[in-house]
Amino acid sequence: MRNKLTRNWVLKLSSFLFALIIWLVVTNINDPIGTYTASNVKVSIQNDDLITDSGQVYEILDNSDSIATVVITAKRSVLDSIDEKNVVAVADVNDLTSINTIPIRLSTDKYNDRLESIRGSIDKVKLNIEEKTSKTLQIRTSTTGTVREGYVLGESSLAQNLIEVSGPESIISQVKRAAVTVNVSGFTNSIDTDSEIRLYDEEDRVLSSSSINKSISKVHVTVEILETKTVPINWNVSGTPARGYQATGEITATRDNVLIAGKSKTIANIESIDIPETKLDITGATESVEQFINLRDHLPDGVIIAEEDFQGVVRVEVAVEQNTERVVTLHTNRIQIINMPEGFEGEIIEDENTYQITLVGLTSVLEAVDVNSIQATVDVAEYMDNNDMEEMHIGYYMAELNYNLDNNINVKEKIRVGLNITEAE
């Protein structure tokens, strides 16, 4: 029996090997081994709380959490059943090395035990690990573009004006300001919008690192768009200069009008900016009075100055000059009796035909007086009232003259003339 089993063993072994080869050939023909390439496989970082819980943060370097290509070798029947979404790439922080790298473990979520091999174009994730820090910044608002002609920008306001940023100390230390930008091109009405908050470094470059965490990413912004209007400035003066001095009526200012802005309804009825007389008080002045007036203090609510290069301060000067005198001649034929009671008539009785009167006032005003146009009057009704006379009687009276002079001209002397009152014929 034994001889039968061992007889021709070489032939039998050869037959077995030949059969095996045939089987392998047939198998490979029906289910050959091939490769499948997956692209851009994302690496999952596990147990990163081991870093963050210790007050540190990490940054993935060189985009090493994304594998450009993963090549899988397996039988065709296996490869036909998997695709990119079945590829699993894991980097566990527990495996972190002293040089801050983590080996990548590759697998598939099915048929993993039937793979011949799986390999990636990179085999580790590179990290930069730093202490975590944070800072709080005030959010600023800026605008781009230009509003329509006849309009200007008003105030900007934010629903929230502070942001906290946190991340690696080396990056957070570069953050110098936080701002939102609103495009105002062509607008005539106020803008309400949600704007993205951007961070800037010392050279005003945008910082957009994924390692930076923001407490908020957007904020609601309101930007006022105001209508403009040019209006005059009205100056009002109070007080009386010192004795012997007068205001000339001349007011000079560094500007006589101003461009204002506000909501259309607000500025529609504003025709001027009126400066109260208490701001220009010339009481007791012996020379011109100069004041600096801030127009902003006298604008209606909701109105602003719309000139970028004008801060609102105007220098104003009220001219005050000393009075001078001019002596002129008044002829009696230019004296008229007025307001004579009915039934009476009067006549000026004087030995002289002329009077010398001294006019007191500003030089420019006195020089403009036409001597021949000066008229004097005796007001009988005024005389009776001043002397408590209820009825006029025939007789001789001394009455004071009045003159048809400018209110800014005074007569130095009080001149009385004789007035003879008789019954009317």
- Assess contact for 180 and 198: CB atoms under 8 A: yes
Structure confidence at residue 349 (pLDDT): 87
pLDDT bracket for residue 202 (50, 70, 90): very high
Mean pLDDT rounded to a whole number for the chain? 90
Structure confidence at residue 8 (pLDDT): 62
What is the C-alpha to C-alpha distance for residues 73 and 91, in angstroms, rounded to an integer?
22
Structure confidence at residue 394 (pLDDT): 93
**Mean pLDDT value across residues 181-192:** 90
**Tens-place pLDDT, residues 131-145:** 999 999 999 999 999
**Tens-place pLDDT, residues 344-356:** 999 988 777 888 9
**pLDDT above 90: percentage of residues in the chain:** 70
Distance of CA 305 to the CA centre of its chain: 12
Its pTM surpasses 0.75: no
Structure confidence at residue 3 (pLDDT): 54
Tokens of 376: 């004097």
What is the C-alpha to C-alpha distance for residues 182 and 186, in angstroms, rounded to an integer?
12
What is the C-alpha to C-alpha distance for residues 128 and 107, in angstroms, rounded to an integer?
26
pLDDT bracket for residue 29 (50, 70, 90): low
Distance of CA 325 to the CA centre of its chain: 57
Q: Which residues of 155-183 are buried (b: 16+ CB within 10 A; e: fewer)?
A: ebebeeeebebbbbeebbebbeebbbebe
**Tens-place pLDDT, residues 45-91:** 999 999 988 889 888 999 999 999 999 999 999 999 999 999 999 99
**Mean pLDDT value across residues 257-284:** 93
**Tens-place pLDDT, residues 79-131:** 999 999 999 999 999 999 999 999 999 999 999 999 999 999 999 999 999 99
Q: Is the pLDDT of residue 191 over 80?
A: yes
Q: Is the pLDDT of residue 233 over 70?
A: yes
**Mean pLDDT value across residues 290-302:** 94
Q: Is the pLDDT of residue 16 over 80?
A: no
pLDDT bracket for residue 425 (50, 70, 90): confident
Structure confidence at residue 209 (pLDDT): 83
**pLDDT above 70: percentage of residues in the chain:** 93
Structure confidence at residue 12 (pLDDT): 61
Instruction: Indicate the SS3 state at residue 37.
Output: strand
Structure confidence at residue 87 (pLDDT): 96
* Strand partners for 109: none
Q: What is the dihedral of CA 25, 30, 33, 38, to 10 degrees?
A: 170
What is the C-alpha to C-alpha distance for residues 357 and 354, in angstroms, rounded to an integer?
10
Q: Which residues of 379-407 are buried (b: 16+ CB within 10 A; e: fewer)?
A: bbeebbeeeeeeebeeeebebebbbebee
Alpha-carbon torsion 200, 205, 210, 211, what sign? negative
- Long-range contacts for 210-213 (Cβ within 8 Å, ≥24 apart)? 210/59, 211/57, 211/59, 211/167, 211/168, 211/171, 212/165, 212/166, 212/167, 212/171, 212/172, 212/175, 213/165, 213/166, 213/167
Amino acid at 268: A
Structure confidence at residue 59 (pLDDT): 87
Structure confidence at residue 74 (pLDDT): 93
Structure confidence at residue 30 (pLDDT): 67
**Tens-place pLDDT, residues 371-416:** 888 999 999 999 999 999 989 999 999 999 999 998 888 998 888 9
